[in-house]
Amino acid sequence: MSTLLSPVNLVALVLFSAALAWRIYQVTRAPTVPNWAVTACVAGFAAAFLLQQTVISDEVDALFGRGAARVANNSLLACGLCALVIFFLGSALGPRRYRRVALELVPLVAAITLMIVTMSLTPPELRGLPLGPATIHDSWVAAFYLGAGLYLIYGLIACTAWIVRYLRVADRNLRIGLRLGAIGMASAAIGSICRALYIVVAWVFGPVVKVLLLLGVPFVIVGGMLFLAGVTYPGLRARVSALRRRRQHRREHEALAPLWTVLVGAFPSIVLRTPPRRGDRLSPRGVHRGHYRRVIEIRDGLVQLSPYLDADFGEVVATDPAAAAAALKAALRRHADGEASDGRAKQVLPAGADDLESDVRPLLALSAAMAAGDVTWTR
């Protein structure tokens, strides 16, 4: 079985897929440079993760030559980090960002060039092999991993510093994701520093301190997981909030049915002529449109009935929904019997209800009172 299906890799695949899907969705909604930069970062990390899997790296090496997958993997990691640094620079520097972004590409190009050159100079039998006691004392292998590692350390520390800076001004929900991302970046930086120390000590001084390499691996893995969790958290929270709001609007739409039914029976013209859009019943926006449509129609019906209501009806709705339901029933009967009204429109909702969302609460109470009292109206 491929190591791609191990539990850790499956968790990483889920996180990468969720993060990348959310970022692509954000880009389609707002194709701005910051959105593209973060999406490129996640895409680079996801591709690098896939290239770490033996089943994929072997195919790449077979196609392009031994060591190609290792170069591509580290280059993609570097590009992902560079994209994230560019995101922070673009957000902070304003009009000056383009020159600074151009300067940021210099160390990236230098690091990738170094990796390509050192891998091409590495003895064929050592190309593409992982860093370890058997390969560390070869100068080209050491130079390859040290060059890649130094750029990663630079990028990780820079991104951690930027994230910590943004924590001060971010809202509460975004702050949680940023904090996870910062911890993940810092953890990965510690792991990269351990690996760099392992290379320097073994290459320059001779001793192979395996514990440095062993320590670096869990720090990098945990750091990557936390970074992905931080990127995914805001989107996941937004989706959960959207689902809750959708369920709330669906429940409120049904709860308003008793009040809506009697008002439409008395004033059929309040039903909006714009027909529901195709697929509204299944789409999230359709749920919200149906909810707002019903609230508007109810409010219009109450306004048309208001000449038959007392002047304090709006306050009664807020303080005693049952009494308001009885008054509404009496007004509907008077309207149906053709009795004369005073002809004056009145306040039909509490004075504080000045938008659709604030209208809903008193209307729900009135509709519940109508249903509880079995208040029906027939022409």
* Mean pLDDT across 191-217: 89
- Kindly report, residue by residue over 3-52, the tens digit of the pLDDT: 555 677 777 788 788 888 878 888 888 887 778 888 888 898 888 888 88
The answer to pTM > 0.75 is no
Quote the Cα angle for 188-193-199, to 5°: 130
Give the C-alpha separation, 217 to 59, whole Å.
24
Distances (CA, A) of 344 to 2, 306, 310, 340, 353: 78, 7, 10, 11, 20
The pLDDT of residue 55: 85
- With contact defined as beta carbons under 8 Å apart, do 156 and 192 qualify? yes
The pLDDT of residue 92: 62
Q: Which residue has the tokens 């959708």?
A: 246
Query: Is residue 348 over pLDDT 50?
Result: yes
- With contact defined as beta carbons under 8 Å apart, do 40 and 28 qualify? no
Which of 16, 23, 21 lies closest to 49 in space, CA to CA?
Answer: 16
Residue 112's pLDDT band (cuts 50, 70, 90): very high
Residue 60 backbone dihedrals phi, psi, to 5 degrees: -65, -45
Mean pLDDT for all residues in the chain: 84
- In the chain, DSSP assigns E strands to none
Distance, CA of 23 to chain centre: 7
The pLDDT of residue 94: 58
Which of 329, 360, 326 lies closest to 262 in space, CA to CA?
Answer: 329
pLDDT top residue among 137 and 286: 137
Residue 85's pLDDT band (cuts 50, 70, 90): confident
Query: Is residue 186 over pLDDT 90?
Result: yes
Residue 95's pLDDT band (cuts 50, 70, 90): low
What's the sign of the alpha-carbon dihedral 78, 119, 124, 197? Answer: negative
The pLDDT of residue 373: 65
Return the structure tokens found at 156: 């990780």
Query: Is residue 189 over pLDDT 90?
Result: yes
* Residue 67 Ramachandran class (φ > 0 left, ψ -120 to 50 alpha, else beta): left
